[in-house]
Amino acid sequence: NRIEVLLATQKPFAQSAIQQMEEALGAANIKLEQLEAYADRKELMERLKNVDALIVRSDIIDKEIIKAGNQLKVIVRAGSGFDNIDIKAAHDAGVIVMNTPGQNANAVAELVFGMLLWGARNGFNGVSGFELKGKTLGIHAFGNVGQNVARIAKGFGMNVLAYDPYTPSVVIYRSGVEPVSCAEELYSKSDIISIHLPYTPLTKKVINRELLQNLPEKAILINTARKEVIHEEDLIAMMKERPQMKYLTDIAPAHPAEFLEMGNRYFATPKKMGAQTLEANSNAAVAAARELINYFESGNVDFKVN
């Protein structure tokens, strides 16, 4: 029987990226089915029947959905963060979960600077803003995205610091970035913070008052990671106490009402846009297809996360 893969994305990839994925899989005699912008989970569960592998983006894949895949062997998260997938339920059901780390990294890093320039120039409202050159940027977590942010920041002439408990200081040094020893130090030494933490049980709401109070009065906080790493109530309280502080995010807060009252001290993309470029879509789509081909042809599980 021909292997069947379902690409289920509530937020669709660019058409040409899907075509590349289809061609790669087709060359390996794997059939690609598509389910885009689906209305509800039931539709997804229905389409999962008799499918061997599933490719998703931020789509929620829980225990019940995994169970509906009666023939499911692999789920590939075409992207980096896999907090949308119940990896334990997948493991218990004998389903392998993989991701495609790094494929979206440059796209996300470029968006950081799109939002940062908007913030530095007061939402382009005509009031005098500030330049990035000479300012200090603190990168909170130095993975693929953080490293791309550092590269671009240096082009702007910024001083770049990074904190990452999982990356040896020497690796940070070698990329021309100054490592600091803890998050508190990073927040106290930076004019601007760019957040690149994955969302895990360990990072839930870690950006709280205790940490935020180290920031200078006029700090800009940029979030292109996940909303769950922010303690929203604490951030709102800090922004009320510090009338020049700004929060710019690619992931709308769970409770945006009070942020929306802050004028151009707050900005959120209407939809999560970090990875929405033709290049990132193609990179992630082709990487997902390759991982599946390698798995089905030779059992390769290099990108397994569960």
Residue nearer to ligand 3PG on the CB measure, 135 or 272:
272
Q: With binding defined as CB under 6 A, does residue 231 bind ligand 3PG? A: no
Q: How far apart are CA 21 and CA 37, in angstroms?
A: 18
Q: With binding defined as CB under 6 A, does residue 119 bind ligand 3PG? A: no
Q: With binding defined as CB under 6 A, does residue 179 bind ligand 3PG? A: no
Contact indicator for 138, 190 with CB cutoff of 8 Å: yes
Locate 162 and state its tokens. Answer: 């990074």
Q: Which stretch binds ligand 3PG (CB under 6 A): 31-39, 161-169, 272-280, 296-304?
A: 272-280
Q: With binding defined as CB under 6 A, does residue 7 bind ligand 3PG? A: no
Letter for the amino acid at 140?
A: H
Q: With binding defined as CB under 6 A, does residue 274 bind ligand 3PG? A: yes
Q: With binding defined as CB under 6 A, does residue 249 bind ligand 3PG? A: no
Q: With binding defined as CB under 6 A, does residue 272 bind ligand 3PG? A: yes
Q: With binding defined as CB under 6 A, does residue 148 bind ligand 3PG? A: no
Residue 223: how many CB atoms within 10 A of its CB? Answer: 25
Sequence-ordered list of residues with C-beta below 8 angstroms from that of 152, at least 6 positions apart, any chain: 109, 110, 112, 113
Q: How far apart are CA 178 and CA 121, in angstroms?
A: 27
Spell 289-299 as b/e; 16+ CB within 10 A means b: bbbbbbbbeee
Q: Which stretch binds ligand 3PG (CB under 6 A): 119-127, 186-194, 236-244, 270-278?
A: 270-278
**Strand 192-195 versus strand 136-140 pairing type:** parallel
The CA radius of gyration of the chain, in Å to the nearest whole number, is: 21
**What is the footprint of ligand 3PG within residues 71-110 (CB under 6 A)?**
79-81, 104
Q: With binding defined as CB under 6 A, does residue 143 bind ligand 3PG? A: no
Binding residues for ligand 3PG, per CB under 6 A?
11, 57-58, 79-81, 104, 272, 274-275
